[in-house]
C-alpha cells in the first residue's frame, strides 16, 4: 500500500487508504477535508476540537494536536486513523469514542464530514447539543450534498454556508434547538423484532437483497456454528436462528459489522426476540484472526464504502470468510446479479453453486 501526500494548511502528511485496490486511484481525503483543515488553521488555530465521521483519519492526523475527541461509528475508519497517525510518527492524545457513548466535550468546536444519512447527522447533532458543542463545521463535496441540506440544518440553529472551493463547502451551524432523534427505532420485519440505531443499513425497511435471502432461508444448510458477516441490525442471523435453533440445541451465532451502531443494534435485536441458541457480537473489519472456524457464514455484502462504489470490500470479505470456514464450511451470499459475484467467488473458492435466483438477485454458495 502506497501513501499519498496531503499538502495541507497544517503541513504535509503521508496518508494511506487501507482496503483500496492498488488499481483504484482512491485517496484517504477529499477537498472537503482540505477545506476544513485550512479553515481551522485560519479561524480556530489551537482551539480544542471534536471530530466526527473522519473516514480515513485525514482530519485526526492533520489536526492531531487539536483533536480531543474523535467520534466514529466505523471500525475501518478507526483502523485508518491509527495507521495514518503511526505513518506520520504522531503521538496522539485524542480519545476515541463511539457515537453511542456519552462524550463530554469541554466546549470543543465540532468538526464533521457530512454523513451520508441524515438520521445519523441528526443523531450526532443531538449528541453535540447534549455535550455543549455549540458550533459545528460540517463539510461535504457538492456532489454529495442532499438537496434539502440547508433547510435540514436550519432546523437545528443558525447556518452560514462558506463559498465552494474545489467543489467542496462548509456549513457553520450554531446549535440552538435540537429536537429528539427518532433513533434507536423498533420495527417488526418478517416477524422479527428489530432495533435499529441511526446509522444502520436497512434501518427503516428490509433491503431487497436481504429479503431474497430470507425468502430462501430454508434452502440454507443446518449448521452448528454460524457467522452473520456484515450483520446490520441482524435480520439474516436472527431469521436463520429462528428457522433452525429449535432443531439444533448447539446453534451458536456470531454477528459481525464494522459499524458500531449495527453491531449494537444486532445485539439489542437478539435480546428482543428470545431465540434459542447462543450469540456473540463483534465490531470488526470482516472477521479477525482471533475467531475459530464456522460451518456456515451468511453475508449480504456492501458494494460501496461511503460514496465509493466497488467490489473491493466484498473481495476482502470473501477472503476473510475463506480463512474462517471449517473443512466442510460454506459461505452463502446474496448479491445483485449485475455484480457478478459468482465470478468473483471463483477466485477464492473451488466450488460455487447457485441456490436460487430471480431477475435481480442471486443466492450463491461457495466452499473449498
Ligand X SMILES: C[S@@+](CC[C@H](N)C(=O)[O-])C[C@H]1O[C@@H](n2cnc3c(N)ncnc32)[C@H](O)[C@@H]1O
* Site for ligand X contains 63 (CB under 6 A): no
Under rule CB under 6 A, residue 294 binds ligand X: no
What gap in Å lies between CA 49 and CA 46, rounded to an integer? 9
Stretch that binds ligand X, among 50-58, 172-180, 227-235, 357-365 (CB under 6 A): 227-235
Of the pair 91, 188, the CB lying nearest ligand X is at 188
In this complex, which beta carbon is closest to ligand X, that of residue 256 or of residue 361? 256
Judged by CB, which is closer to ligand X: 33, or 254?
A: 254
Cβ atoms of residues 79 and 46 within 8 Å: no
Window of 87-95, 106-114, 132-140, 252-260 that interacts with ligand X by CB under 6 A: 252-260
Closer by beta carbon to ligand X, 44 or else 303: 303
Of 258, 267, 295, 311, the residue at the interface with ligand X (CB under 6 A) is 258
Of residues 73-102, which lie at the interface with ligand X (CB under 6 A)? Answer: 76
Nearer residue to ligand X within complex by CB, 109 or 189: 189
Instruction: Give the residue ranges of DSSP H helices in 159-306.
Output: 208-215, 235-244, 260-273
Q: Please state the closest distance from residue 361 (CB atom) to ligand X, in A.
A: 11
**Structural contact between residues 237 and 253, judged by C-beta atoms closer than 8 angstroms:** yes
User: Per CB under 6 A, does 335 bind ligand X?
Assistant: no
Contact between 54 and ligand X by CB under 6 A: the answer reads no
Alpha-carbon distance of 51 to 224, in angstroms, equals 42
Separation of alpha carbons 242 and 23, rounded Å = 42
- Identify residues 302-331 at the interface with ligand X (CB under 6 A): 302, 313
What's the Cα-to-Cα distance from 275 to each of 69, 184, 278, rounded to whole Å?
Answer: 38, 21, 9
CB of 253 to ligand X, least distance (A): 13
User: Considering the rule CB under 6 A, would residue 128 count as an interface residue with ligand X?
Assistant: no
The three-state secondary structure class of 329 is strand
**Pairing mode of beta strands 325-336, 361-367:** antiparallel
Quick one: 254 or 258, whose CB is closer to ligand X? 258
Using CB under 6 A, which of 169, 269, 300, 365 touches ligand X? 300
| DSSP class per residue in 117-167 | -HHHHHHHHHHHHHTT--EEEEEEEGGG--TTHHHHHHTTEEEEEPPPBTT
Query: Using the rule CB under 6 A, is 232 a contact of ligand X?
Result: yes
Q: Is 259 in the site for ligand X (CB under 6 A)?
A: yes
Residue 237: Cβ-neighbour burial (10 angstroms; 0-12, 13-18, 19+): buried
Q: Measured from the CB of residue 251, what is the shortest distance to ligand X in angstroms? A: 18
- By CB under 6 A, tell whether 115 contacts ligand X: no
Query: Least distance (Å) from ligand X to the CB of residue 53?
Result: 14
279 sits near ligand X (criterion: CB under 6 A)? no
| Closest to ligand X by CB, 207 or 215 | 207
d(CA 171, CA 160): 6
Helical pair 208-215 and 235-244, crossing angle rounded to 10 deg:
10
Q: Which of 32, 78, 128, 231 binds ligand X (CB under 6 A)?
A: 231
Q: Is residue 168 a contact point for ligand X (CB under 6 A)? A: no
Which neighbouring-strand residues pair with 194?
187
Residues 171-210 that bind ligand X (CB under 6 A): 201-202, 207, 210
Q: Which of 30, 54, 257, 267 binds ligand X (CB under 6 A)?
A: 257
Which neighbouring-strand residues pair with 177?
none
Q: How wide is the angle at C-alpha 204 spanned by C-alphas 201 and 205, nearest 5°? A: 90
Complex with ligand X: residue 54 or 258, whichever CB lies closer: 258
SS3 state of residue 97: strand
Instruction: Answer for the pair 242, 192: CB distance below 8 angstroms, yes or no.
Output: yes
Helix (H) or strand (E) holding 41: helix 31-43
* Site size for ligand X (CB under 6 A): 20
Contacts with ligand X by CB under 6 A lie at 76, 201-202, 207, 210, 230-232, 235-236, 256-259, 262, 285-286, 300, 302, 313
Amino acid at each position: 500500500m502506497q501513501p499519498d501526500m496531503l499538502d495541507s494548511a497544517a503541513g504535509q502528511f503521508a496518508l494511506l487508504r487501507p482496503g483500496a485496490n492498488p488499481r483504484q486511484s482512491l485517496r484517504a481525503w477529499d477537498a472537503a477535508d482540505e477545506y476544513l483543515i485550512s479553515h481551522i488553521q485560519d479561524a480556530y488555530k489551537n482551539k480544542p476540537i471534536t471530530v466526527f465521521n473522519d473516514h480515513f483519519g485525514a482530519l485526526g492526523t492533520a489536526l492531531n494536536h487539536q483533536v480531543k475527541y474523535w467520534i466514529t461509528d466505523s471500525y475501518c475508519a478507526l483502523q485508518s486513523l491509527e495507521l495514518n497517525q503511526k505513518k506520520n510518527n504522531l503521538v496522539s492524545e485524542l480519545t476515541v469514542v463511539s457515537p453511542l457513548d456519552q462524550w463530554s466535550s469541554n466546549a470543543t468546536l465540532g468538526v464533521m464530514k457530512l454523513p451520508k444519512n441524515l438520521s445519523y447527522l441528526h443523531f450526532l447533532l443531538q449528541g453535540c447539543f447534549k455535550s455543549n458543542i455549540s458550533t459545528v463545521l460540517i463539510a461535504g463535496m457538492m456532489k454529495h450534498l442532499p438537496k434539502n441540506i440547508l433547510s435540514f440544518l436550519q432546523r437545528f440553529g443558525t447556518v452560514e454556508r462558506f463559498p465552494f472551493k474545489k467543489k467542496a463547502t462548509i456549513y457553520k451551524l450554531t446549535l440552538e434547538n435540537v429536537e429528539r432523534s427518532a433513533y434507536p427505532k423498533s420495527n417488526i420485519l418478517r416477524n422479527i423484532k428489530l432495533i435499529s440505531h441511526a446509522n444502520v443499513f436497512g434501518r427503516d425497511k428490509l433491503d431487497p437483497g436481504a429479503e431474497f435471502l430470507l425468502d430462501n432461508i430454508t434452502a440454507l444448510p443446518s449448521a452448528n456454528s454460524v457467522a452473520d458477516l456484515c450483520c446490520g441490525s441482524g435480520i439474516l442471523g436472527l431469521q436463520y436462528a429462528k428457522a433452525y435453533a429449535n432443531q439444533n440445541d448447539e446453534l451458536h451465532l456470531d454477528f459481525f459489522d464494522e459499524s458500531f451502531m449495527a453491531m449494537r443494534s444486532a445485539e439489542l435485536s437478539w435480546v428482543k426476540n428470545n431465540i434459542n441458541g447462543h450469540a456473540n457480537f463483534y465490531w470488526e473489519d470482516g472477521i479477525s484472526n482471533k475467531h475459530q472456524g464456522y460451518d456456515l457464514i451468511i453475508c449480504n455484502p456492501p458494494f460501496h464504502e461511503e460514496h465509493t462504489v466497488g467490489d473491493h470490500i466484498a473481495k476482502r470479505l470473501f477472503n476473510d470468510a475463506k480463512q474462517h470456514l471449517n473443512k466442510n464450511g460454506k459461505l452463502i451470499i446474496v448479491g445483485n446479479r449485475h455484480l457478478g459475484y459468482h465470478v468473483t467467488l471463483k477466485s477464492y473458492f473451488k466450488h460455487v453453486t447457485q441456490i436460487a435466483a430471480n431477475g435481480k438477485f442471486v443466492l450463491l454458495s461457495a466452499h473449498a
